[in-house]
Amino acid sequence: MHHSKYRILNRLSPVQMLLLFYFIAVLLSTFTLALPFTHQDGVEIAFVDLLFTSVSAISVTGLSTISIVDSLSTLGVIVLAMIMQLGAVGIMSIGTLIWLVLGKRIGLKERSLIMTDQNQSSFQGMVRLIKQIIYVLLVIEFIGFLILGTYFLRYFPTASEAYLHGFFGTISAISNAGFDITGQSLIPYDHDYFVQFIYMLLIILGAIGFPVWIEVKEYVFFKKGRRNFFRFSLFTKLTTFTFFTLIGVGALGIFLLDINHFFVGKSWHESLFYALFQSVTTRSGGLSTMDVSLLSESNHLFLSFLMFIGASPSSAGGGIRTTTFALALIFIITYIRGGRSVRIFNREIYEGDMSKAVTVTLVAFIFVFSSILLMSIVEPFSLDQILFEVTSAFGTVGLSLGITGELSTFSKIILMLLMFIGRVGIITFLLMFTKKKKKEKYSYPKERVIIG
Amino acid sequence: MHHSKYRILNRLSPVQMLLLFYFIAVLLSTFTLALPFTHQDGVEIAFVDLLFTSVSAISVTGLSTISIVDSLSTLGVIVLAMIMQLGAVGIMSIGTLIWLVLGKRIGLKERSLIMTDQNQSSFQGMVRLIKQIIYVLLVIEFIGFLILGTYFLRYFPTASEAYLHGFFGTISAISNAGFDITGQSLIPYDHDYFVQFIYMLLIILGAIGFPVWIEVKEYVFFKKGRRNFFRFSLFTKLTTFTFFTLIGVGALGIFLLDINHFFVGKSWHESLFYALFQSVTTRSGGLSTMDVSLLSESNHLFLSFLMFIGASPSSAGGGIRTTTFALALIFIITYIRGGRSVRIFNREIYEGDMSKAVTVTLVAFIFVFSSILLMSIVEPFSLDQILFEVTSAFGTVGLSLGITGELSTFSKIILMLLMFIGRVGIITFLLMFTKKKKKEKYSYPKERVIIG
Ligand SMILES: [K+]
Ligand SMILES: [K+]
């Protein structure tokens, strides 16, 4: 058995493992992107921008203080794609590990492959599971690369250019990184609905979360004729429902908030695709088919709200996560209704999960607000622009109203921290500071307090 | 006994009583302010502005779409003072009633006058308590009126003018209404530290909450020599600690955020009083010794945060309340520390109270965010200005960056709703929609969910 191989890793706590991975990956990425052959001739990039690009790529955010297409060589572009891939898979894998090690198995326990052999260590089961996921990811990426690359032949003079765009675009979309090598995101394809459809599909696959992939795969391979007996977990139902509701409500909201502004004179299909694509991309994709600064200020606020929520847990995205948002809402609604037990899809929700969701939301508010406050001290930009940049970093989305390149080093550091926190998730981030629970020696009398 | 007098009121739920009071008070106020003798000669005021002024006065917010000094006659000014007084006392009284009826007696049970006679109904006890409070309030107001009025003789040519300013100023300060008849708030006294000191004292008395008054009074009248045995309730300790911490941190923050801007060239005592007064006034007073739009954008954000928190429960102020803020923070800190029981001042906090605090905070976020989003659709103003106006209304503070008078009717309606919700408090507001808890017939299996 390969037991010895994992001995050192086993000594680390999953959270330490994640930190170590992040640290090494960013270091490696910064170093590689500093090598001259990854640059175009004569291009020099400041250290803080190399670091920013690396953090942005590892946390698959896609915010960039430099223009990728003007700075990186073809080799640099391929390296950047690898870094995005590493970031997406690495953090998702270790994130899934943390989730399993901490015993939050979400009903997968009985069904997932990890547990089919009761004798294997959960760590080895994890490794097998992650290998499977990576295998599926690579297959999807290869299909995406073939479709997009071939289709792009009509856009580019040479096949190598077309397939480079197909390769980079596929990885950027499914890893939800959102970097582009067109120099203007997907604006060149703003009337090519086929390209947009493929991109949306890839972004959704990357943002919907590994656990959903696993369950859908299990459903597909479930014995035919007995599929009625297959039950999707509460988690999968809740996260998927919230995910697609957010996309629908998001698209409608984006359209309505600019109905007298950006969407004036657009045909129904133009409006549909502009609104839909921009809604999908706030789940954490970050690619866009338009200059979002053309939207109205109220839409910037709305997009900030959508980016703050971000993607589903154990996905390639960031933010507070779809489930957190849903549970926080359910918590409030139940409270208003005067009910005690919180239930949805005919299941009761654990109070501990509710508390967690609410904690995550409040802590995220604190981080986002503090970041905006700090940045507003040093930046000349409007609150609108800063709010957008901050929620984009926290949701690891990567949309921007165009100020990223002009920010001070101080603000760049804040955004790097937000991308890190948004990507690993508030819960994992807080675990870094959580002490093990000690048994309380004393018990104090309880006393009530007016809330207001 | 006077039992029959209260029979009709007894049939209403306290929340219905509050709604009824609010509705009648606003109607009465709007009607009175529409009467010509309350206006200066030739001044016409639009209905929406009369309504806005009434809602603002009844909810003691102090936001105003008209200039009081240019629109109202001397009689009108006195009427407005009465309306503020009615608003402050009315909602505080009914609020205290709701709090008692719902059984949230916060340890006052054993000590407060309501319970000295076990045979009287709690409603009659309440009436006696509220009479006492109003008596204390009137005494304080009379002292404030004498001090300020007499002191103002040096500012005004006639005694009647000086005492009118003393009368209106005292009521505006202690009721935390924040209206002014100088036409420019307390800016004329921006170097008169005595006036500012008296005003701060009055604002703090109005914003610190009735329960604190009652306990302090009990402490003062407690048998001498046995005072060591007197124990302030957890509520009083927590709310008072939070209240003064916010004032301290607020003043420091306001100073630091404008150290290179507004405070350049100011002496230490000027800086101290500017920062301190503006910090005190965000608890919900609303009077100011400077044009707050001169402060930097980051300070506007900070003030918005302070106004969002607002005053203490059962006071003349609004917002989420100091206790809510404190409990939400304690909740987060305890979660991060990995502890289960939440305690402070050697007492454990009820989990139900924590949930309530968190619900209030989240619902307040939703209201504030939605209001900003809606107003940003129709208003040409910056996010900064709208955020400030919205939190000022919700915290019933009444500070403004100067846009109130130029707002559309749509936005005025939103602000009126926010003033109402902020004043009665989120919990009371939610009670209007809370159904009585039914016994659950079915129990659902619990299932865990990833939070992220
Ligand atoms: K992204
Ligand atoms: K006020």
Please say whether the beta carbons of B323 and B242 come within 8 A: yes
Taking contacts as CB-CB distances below 8 angstroms, the residues of chain B near A350 are 446-449
* B332 closest CA partner among B365, B301, B361, B363: B361
**Average pLDDT over all residues of chain B:** 84
Residue B337 has a pLDDT of: 72
**Average pLDDT over all residues of chain A:** 84
Residue B193 has a pLDDT of: 94
Contacts of residue A143, Cβ cutoff 8 Å, sequence gap at least 6: none
How far off is chain A from B76, nearest CA to CA, in Å? 33
% of chain A with per-residue pLDDT over 90:
51
Q: Let me know if residue A26 belongs to a domain.
A: yes
Contact (CB<8Å) A452/B320? yes
**C-alpha separations of B299 from A334, B59, B291 in Å:** 36, 25, 13
Residue A333 has a pLDDT of: 82
A89-143 pLDDT, tens digit per residue, is 887 777 666 666 554 443 333 333 333 333 334 556 667 777 778 888 899 999 9
How far off is chain B from A281, nearest CA to CA, in Å? 19
Please say whether the beta carbons of A174 and A144 come within 8 A: yes
Question: Which residues constitute the domain of residue B179?
Answer: 9-223+232-431
Please say whether the beta carbons of A22 and A91 come within 8 A: yes
Minimum mean pLDDT among B181-195, B201-215, B224-238: which range?
B224-238
How far off is chain B from A17, nearest CA to CA, in Å? 17
Residue B369 has a pLDDT of: 96
Q: Which of residues 229-258 of A touch B (CB under 8 A)?
A: 233-235, 238-239, 257
Dist. CA B61–CA B419, nearest whole Å? 7
Start-to-end CA span in chain A (Å): 61
% of chain B with per-residue pLDDT over 70:
83
Minimum mean pLDDT among A93-107, B23-37, B53-67: which range?
A93-107
Residue A450 has pLDDT above 70, yes or no: no
Residue B346 has phi, psi (to 5 degrees) of 60, 25
Token pair recorded at residue A134: 């990576």
Residue A44 has phi, psi (to 5 degrees) of -110, 135
Contact (CB<8Å) A323/B450? yes
Taking contacts as CB-CB distances below 8 angstroms, the residues of chain A near B324 are 451-452
Contact (CB<8Å) A382/B382? yes
- pLDDT band, residue B44 (cuts 50/70/90): confident
Residue A444 has a pLDDT of: 57
* pLDDT, greater one: B270 or A214: B270
Contact (CB<8Å) B452/A427? yes
% of chain A with per-residue pLDDT over 70:
83
Q: Which residues make beta-bridge pairs with A39?
A: A72
Residue B437, sorted as left (phi over 0), alpha (psi -120 to 50) or beta, turns out to be beta
B285-340 pLDDT, tens digit per residue, is 999 999 999 999 999 999 999 999 999 988 888 999 999 999 999 888 877 776 66
Minimum mean pLDDT among A26-30, A225-229, A304-308, B334-338: which range?
A225-229
Contact (CB<8Å) A444/B314? no
Residue B449 has a pLDDT of: 58
A40-60 pLDDT, tens digit per residue, is 888 888 899 999 999 999 999
Residue A261 sits at the chain B interface (C-beta within 8 Å): no
Taking contacts as CB-CB distances below 8 angstroms, the residues of chain B near A348 are 443-447
How far off is chain B from A126, nearest CA to CA, in Å? 17
Amino acid at A238: L
**C-alpha separations of B80 from A26, A121, B30, B180, B182 in Å:** 63, 75, 10, 10, 14
- pLDDT band, residue B89 (cuts 50/70/90): confident
Residue A439 sits at the chain B interface (C-beta within 8 Å): no
Instruction: Please report, to the nearest 10 degrees, the dihedral formed by the alpha carbons of residues B87, B92, B94, B95 taken in order.
Output: 130
Residue B109 has a pLDDT of: 34
Please say whether the beta carbons of A184 and A168 come within 8 A: no
* A316 closest CA partner among A67, A63, A60: A60
Dist. CA A239–CA A400, nearest whole Å? 26
Residue B323 sits at the chain A interface (C-beta within 8 Å): yes
Q: Which stretches within A231-350 are classed as H helix?
A: 234-257, 268-280, 297-309, 322-337
- pLDDT band, residue B49 (cuts 50/70/90): very high
Residue A255 has phi, psi (to 5 degrees) of -65, -50
Ligand 2 center–CA B98 separation, angstroms = 22
Q: Let me know if residue A447 belongs to a domain.
A: no
Dist. CA A249–CA A252, nearest whole Å? 5
Contact (CB<8Å) B347/A234? no
A325-358 pLDDT, tens digit per residue, is 999 998 888 777 766 666 778 787 877 788 888 8
The B347-349 sheet, strands edge to edge: A446-447, B347-349, B343-344
Task: State the number of CA atoms in the 13 A half-sphere of B426 facing the CB.
Answer: 30
Q: Which of residues 151-170 of B touch A (CB under 8 A)?
A: none
Contact (CB<8Å) A450/B106? yes
Residue A64 has pLDDT above 50, yes or no: yes
Residue B350 has a pLDDT of: 77
Residue B53 has a pLDDT of: 92
How many domains are there within chain A?
1
Task: Please count the residue pairs, one from chain A and one from chain B, whose beta carbons lie less than 8 angstroms apart.
Answer: 243
Contact (CB<8Å) A343/B444? yes
Please say whether the beta carbons of B59 and B318 come within 8 A: yes
Token pair recorded at residue A83: 């870094």
Q: Let me know if residue B440 belongs to a domain.
A: no
Which of the ligands is closest to the CA of residue B394?
A: 2
Minimum mean pLDDT among A214-223, B101-110, B252-261: which range?
B101-110
Strand (E) or helix (H) holding A347: strand A347-349
Residue B104 has a pLDDT of: 43
Ligand 1 center–CA B376 separation, angstroms = 27
Please say whether the beta carbons of B53 and B34 come within 8 A: no
Please say whether the beta carbons of B348 and A318 come within 8 A: no
- pLDDT band, residue B124 (cuts 50/70/90): low
Contacts of residue A360, Cβ cutoff 8 Å, sequence gap at least 6: A320, A321, A324, A425, A426, A427, B451, B452
The residue-averaged pLDDT of B246-272 equals 95
The residue-averaged pLDDT of A389-407 equals 94
Residue A103 has a pLDDT of: 47
How deeply is B189 buried, as exposed, middle or buried, from its count of CB atoms within 10 A (0-12, 13-18, 19+)? buried
The residue-averaged pLDDT of B359-365 equals 93
The residue-averaged pLDDT of A367-381 equals 95
Contact (CB<8Å) B297/A233? no
